[in-house]
Structure 1
Amino acid sequence: MSNNQTLKGYDIIGDIHGCSEALERLLIKLGYSKVDGVYGHPDRKAVFVGDIIDRGPHIRQAAWLVHDMVKAGNAHITMGNHEYNAIAYMTVVGEEGSQEYLREHNHRHTRIMRETLDQFADYQDEWQYLISWFLTIPVFLELPGFRVVHACWDEELIEEFKARRNTNTIDLEFLIASSDLDSFEFQIMDRLLRGTNLKLPNGMAIEGKDGYVRQFFRTKFWTDEPDIYQDIVFQPDPLPDEIAQKQLTDEDRDKLLSYADDAPPLFFGHYWRIGKPECIKPNLACLDYSAVKYGKLVAYRFDGEEQLSDSKYVFIDVTPTEFPLDDSNGLEDLSRV
């Protein structure tokens, strides 16, 4: 978009996870086209909610497509937990001779990043460059008339973050400090990029569809007088019925957040929704509809409205035919750095 043209609206796009072919189809459906190899729109900007990398078949292409749009001024982006995890996974800390990675290279962490690491194996300079770019990505956005965050808007934490840093980005020092689970830095990154959660009662644990055993479950960061656990759960894996029907305690309620009905519209991703895209509330919209699980890649066309509408969603279905990787997937055409 040229600087002398009037911006008419924004297209906020959900978690991509390496589904670059689906992203291109969605951008074209939204009226974007390539100019000098970069997607743009004559009078709109894209906004990405994060989680560009990991899991999908064309992670390298997706990362560069988004990077180039942002660098050209055709898009904004917020950091996802997968970008944050990647930075920490690749960051070495400690004295020489006793160095270790900020995010441990254990089986689970490496498995989550496996596709990304494999697809950049022959492009290490590019990968190092993108890691440094990920570190510059804002952890939240406040744009004209709306907000964007990857997983959770915590007003109190965000206001303290702005007061401390006078910015919406982090740096290497902040990143390293966030590895301390008792720190403010960890609290910010965990809450904004991963969301809220509650510990399961009585030391219980559940195994998710991904095989990971959890003692916590993801919760809504907005509440309307919840009564039982089922009222607040917000994740693809259901709670066992004996937990879902359990009454919330006063201690549980103290850990919950709310998002005011008169607050600006908020867009986020992260939560692996399914079905037909629809607004959660008139000022709340989740845009993650499980694209990399053969779901939908979703955008919301925002034009300044104070009350969001289901009719403003635009989406495409992601099919298994977009996933096979082979030697003719065009990676050689993306070499740079």
Structure 2
Amino acid sequence: MATPSSNPCRGYDIIGDIHGCSLTLESLLQRMGYAKVKGVYEHKRRQAIFIGDIIDRGPRIREALHLVRDMVERGSARIVMGNHEYNALGYCTRARPGSGRTFLREHIPRHNRLIKETLQQFEAHPGEWKDFLAWFYTIPLFIEDEHFRAVHACWDNGLISRFRQEHPDGCITEDFLHASSVNDSFPGEVMDTLLRGTDLRLPEGVAITGSDGFVRKFFRTKFWADNPHTYADVVFQPDPLPADVAAHVLTADEHRQLLSYPLDAPPVFVGHYWMDGKPSQLKSNVACVDFSAVKYGKLAAYRMDGERVLSADKFVWVDVQWPNDIDQRNYPTSEDSLAR
């Protein structure tokens, strides 16, 4: 969705996955100079860009959704869809007759567990939850601004260009949601790639068990790797590959499956990947702003001011601590980066 800024002097704050950590979000916004005006956070010279995954897992999902939607409706923020918002739509939408399923996202134990906190926190507010599900359809899958791009997990020019031809606003419809549940469909490829990232199948007979206990035969890959040679050069996920698997040399077919993101492309921001450590860019024009807030990590943002080369000193973050959802003792970021 092309959305060039109407104010060339405006800056942007790209904020990582929130997952119900609303108090942490408020603290981060305040540290960056946002203040409530008639009950809604805004900044005189900047706009927040939420990278998706507002819901699931955390302690204050309902509060986080209200805060974010209010900012978006005020114009003090924009947002792209995360895989958890997409999952929620599928989980709560009944499949059409003849599809062989009850819901688009079946209510199996793993899916039930992922959305459990969200449904519990809205149990006494069913009307609100219905309204938020409708709002999710208004959230675009990507933002393409004059100076930057934002997408939850992966920027794929081919898929985005094709999708935009039929959906110029960047948003999905209920028909598209239904179509995306069909294996090997174009809608399914759009949602899986943009919202979950790219992957490669592991060699025959090889599987890995993640820290979540889920056994996988695929591993997530970078969409920006330059001249990769082995699996170790392209793997991008919280759980490392076993050393012998990481040393596997990429085949010609695997090379063809990989994406690349050229250095002369506009800076792109993603979330999704559960990063840890001190926030920094992944490449001169690629940055992930998800630093595992809901896993006692950091809620991070990148303060974008039109630069073509990203810099580590433009990140700002707060550390998360439950049950208060925020540890206010440590803000390891320079004051001048907070004052803009």
Q: Which residue of 1 aligns with 2:193?
A: 191
Deviation at 1:165, TM superposition (A): 2.6
Does 1:248 find its partner at 2:250?
Answer: yes
Q: Which residue of 1 aligns with 2:321?
A: 319
Q: Which residue of 2 aligns with 1:263?
A: 265
Q: Which residue of 2 aligns with 1:26?
A: 28
Unaligned runs of 5+ in 1: 325-337
- Of 277, 296, 300, 1:275 maps to 277
Output the amino acid matched with 1:289.
Answer: F
- Of 112, 115, 118, 2:114 maps to 112
What is the TM-score with the length of structure 1 in the denominator? 0.92
Unaligned runs of 5+ in 2: 327-340
Deviations 1:269-302 (A, max 9, x none): 0001100000111111100000111111000111
Deviation at 1:6, TM superposition (A): 7.4
Output the amino acid matched with 1:182.
Answer: D
Local SS of the residue matching 2:204: helix
Q: Confirm or deny: 8 A CA contact 1:14 1:48 kept in the other structure.
A: yes
Aligned pair count? 321
Deviation at 1:203, TM superposition (A): 2.8
Identify which range, 160-169 or 130-139, moves more after superposition. Answer: 160-169
Percent identity between matched residues is 55
What is the TM-score with the length of structure 2 in the denominator? 0.91
Distance 2:97 2:251 in 1: 46
Local SS of the residue matching 2:90: helix
Does 1:160 find its partner at 2:162?
Answer: yes
Local SS of the residue matching 1:34: strand
Deviation at 1:319, TM superposition (A): 1.4
Distance 2:8 2:42 in 1: 14
Q: Which residue of 2 aligns with 1:223?
A: 225
Change (3 A) 1:224 1:127: same
Q: Confirm or deny: 8 A CA contact 1:7 1:45 kept in the other structure.
A: no
Deviation at 1:99, TM superposition (A): 7.5
Q: Confirm or deny: 8 A CA contact 2:21 2:59 kept in the other structure.
A: yes
Distance 1:158 1:262 in 2: 18
Does 1:206 find its partner at 2:212?
Answer: no
Distance 1:38 1:215 in 2: 45
* CA RMSD after TM alignment: 1.8
Q: Which residue of 2 aligns with 1:79?
A: 81
Distance 2:308 2:234 in 1: 25
Change (3 A) 1:238 1:5: closer
Q: Which residue of 2 aligns with 1:331?
A: none
Distance 1:138 1:203 in 2: 39
Distance 1:118 1:36 in 2: 29
Does 1:304 find its partner at 2:306?
Answer: yes
